[in-house]
C-alpha cells in the first residue's frame, strides 16, 4: 500500500521486540530438535517461508502455533507461558498501519468476503516476503531500511486473513501484465508465481487471470477491492499514487461490484488461470 503521511509511532509498545524474541526462541528450540523449517512447518501447518518469517519476527507467531510448538519442541511450557502477552500484542497490531490506512485494515481483518482486481502489481495480501521487500526497496523517494522492514512485517501480518475459520470468500483477478512483471528478479518472481498457485488452490479462493489479448475490457482504470466486513455492508477501497479512498456510498459500490462481475466473466476461469501460471513457471 502507498504512504501519504507518516504513521503514528507504535514500536514503543514493544510488540515488534516481543515477536523477534519469540522467533529466536522457536528457531533455537527447532534446531535443537533437529528439524528443518520445512519439517517444522509441516507439523504446525505452515510452509517454510512462513516459518522463516516467524523466526525472524517478521510474521506474527499466533497463539495456536506457539501451543503446538511448545509440545513439538519440548519447550516445557515456556512458549505457552507468554500466550497472554502475545494475545495482547496481537490486539495492538492494527496500530502498526499508517493512520490513513488503519480504518480499512480493521475492516479487512473482519472480512467475510474480499474481491480484488489488480492492474499494476500483486496485491499485498498475496505477496511473498521477498516480493514485498522488493516493492518497498524500489519505492521512490527511497525508504530507510527500518521502514522497509516494518512495512514488510505489516504487509505479511495482514495475510493472517487466510488463517481465519471460517475463512472469508475470496476472489482475485490479476491482469496478465502483473504476472509477467518480474519484480525483484527471476528468483523472487518464480517464488511469487508459486505463492499465487498455492493461494489459488485454497477452497475459499478463486484466482483468475485477465489475458492481455482481450479486445473488450470493462475497466481500463484503477485497481480496486470490494470488501464485506462481518455484519456490515460492502465497501470499496482503492488507491491512486498513494492517495487512498474508501467508498461506502451504495450506488458507487453497486457500480463497481457490477463492473467486477464483468471483469470476472471476461477473465480466464480459475482452472485455466492456474494452468496459465503453471505454464509461465515451466517456461522460465
Q: What is the pLDDT of residue 65?
A: 87
The answer on 144 and 44 residing in a single domain is: no
User: Do 126 and 247 lie in a common domain?
Assistant: yes
Judge if 29 and 81 occupy the same domain: yes
Q: Do 69 and 162 have their domain in common?
A: no
Q: Copy the grid coordinates of residue 127.
A: 505477496
Residue 5 maps to a domain: no
CATH number at residue 177: 3.30.870
CA distance 175 to 177: 5
Kindly state whether residues 54 and 81 are assigned to the same domain: yes
In a domain? residue 6: no
Q: Which domain holds residue 271?
A: 99-282
Do 29 and 168 reside in the same domain of the chain?
no
* Pair 111, 229 in one domain: yes
86 and 105 co-located in one domain: no
104 lies in some domain: yes
31 and 51 Cβ atoms separated by less than 8 Å: no
Crossing angle for the helix pair 37-44 and 48-55, to the nearest 10 degrees: 100
In terms of domains, do 39 and 157 share one? no
Q: Examine the domain organization and report whether 73 and 197 are in the same domain.
A: no
Residue 171 within any structural domain of the chain: yes
Instruction: List the grid coordinates of 38.
Output: 520445512
Query: Last residue of a domain, which of 35, 58, 91?
Result: 91
Residue 246 resides in a domain: yes
Among 91, 120, 146, where does a domain finish? 91
Provide CB contacts within 8 A for 44, sequence distance 6+.
51, 65, 68, 69, 72
Residue 20: which residues within 8 A CB-CB, separation 6 or more? 56, 57
| DSSP for the chain, written as a single string | ---SSPPPP-GGGSHHHHHHHHHHHHHHHHHHHT--HHHHHHHHT--HHHHHHHHTTSS---HHHHHHHHHHTT-TTTTGGGHHHHHHHHHTGGGGS-HHHHHHHHHHHTEEEEEEEESSS--GGG--HHHHHHHHHT-SSPPPHHHHHHHHHHHHHHGGGGG-SSPPEEEEEEEHHHHH--TT-HHHHHHHHHHHHHHHTSTTEEEEEE-TT-S--S--S--EEEEEETTS--EEEEEETTEEEEE--HHHHHHHHHHHHHHHHHSPPHHHHHHHHHHHHHT-
Number of domains in the chain: 2
Q: List the grid coordinates of 260.
A: 467486477
- Residue 68 forms part of a structural domain: yes
Q: Are residues 166 and 271 in the same domain?
A: yes
Say if residue 117 is in the same domain as residue 145: yes
Distance of CA 269 to the CA centre of its chain: 22
Q: Which of 91, 118, 147 is the last residue of a domain?
A: 91
pTM for the whole structure: 0.69
Output the domain CATH number for residue 68: 1.10.260.40
Closest CA to 170 of 129, 228, 124: 228
Q: Residue-wise pLDDT tens for the chain (284 aa)?
A: 344 333 333 344 456 678 888 889 999 999 999 999 989 988 988 778 778 878 887 777 888 889 999 999 999 998 988 888 887 776 665 445 555 566 677 788 889 999 999 999 999 999 999 999 999 999 988 988 888 888 888 888 888 888 888 999 999 999 999 999 999 999 999 999 999 999 999 999 999 999 999 888 888 878 999 999 999 999 999 987 777 888 999 999 999 999 999 999 999 999 999 999 999 999 87
Amino acid at each position: 500500500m502507498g504512504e501519504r503521511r507518516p504513521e503514528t509511532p507504535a514500536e514503543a509498545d514493544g510488540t515488534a521486540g516481543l515477536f523477534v524474541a519469540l522467533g529466536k526462541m522457536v528457531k533455537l528450540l527447532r534446531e535443537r530438535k533437529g528439524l528443518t523449517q520445512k519439517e517444522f512447518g509441516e507439523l504446525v501447518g505452515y510452509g517454510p517461508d512462513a516459518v522463516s518469517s516467524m523466526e525472524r519476527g517478521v510474521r506474527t507467531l499466533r497463539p495456536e502455533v506457539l501451543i503446538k510448538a511448545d509440545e513439538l519442541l519440548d519447550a516445557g511450557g515456556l512458549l505457552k507461558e507468554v500466550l497472554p502477552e502475545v494475545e495482547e500484542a496481537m490486539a495492538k497490531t492494527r496500530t502498526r498501519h499508517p493512520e490513513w490506512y488503519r480504518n480499512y485494515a480493521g475492516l479487512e481483518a473482519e472480512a467475510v468476503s474480499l474481491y480484488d482486481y489488480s492492474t499494476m502489481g500483486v496485491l499485498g495480501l498475496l505477496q511473498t516476503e521477498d516480493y514485498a521487500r522488493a516493492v518497498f526497496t524500489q519505492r521512490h523517494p527511497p525508504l530507510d531500511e527500518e521502514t522497509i522492514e516494518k512495512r514488510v512485517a505489516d504487509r505479511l501480518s495482514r495475510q493472517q486473513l487466510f488463517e481465519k475459520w471460517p475463512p472469508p470468500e475470496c476472489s482475485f483477478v490479476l491482469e496478465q501484465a502483473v504476472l509477467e512483471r518480474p519484480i525483484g528478479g527471476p528468483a523472487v518472481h518464480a517464488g511469487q508465481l508459486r505463492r499465487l498457485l498455492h493461494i489459488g488452490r485454497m477452497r475459499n479462493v478463486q484466482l483468475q487471470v485477465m489475458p492481455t489479448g482481450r479486445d473488450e475490457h470493462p475497466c481500463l482504470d484503477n485497481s480496486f477491492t470490494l470488501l464485506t466486513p462481518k455484519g456490515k455492508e460492502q465497501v470499496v477501497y482503492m488507491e491512486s499514487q498513494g492517495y487512498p479512498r474508501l467508498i461506502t456510498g451504495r450506488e458507487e459500490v453497486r457500480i463497481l461490484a457490477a463492473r467486477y462481475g464483468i471483469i470476472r466473466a471476461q477473465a480466464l476461469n480459475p482452472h485455466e488461470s492456474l494452468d496459465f501460471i503453471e505454464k509461465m513457471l515451466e517456461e522460465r
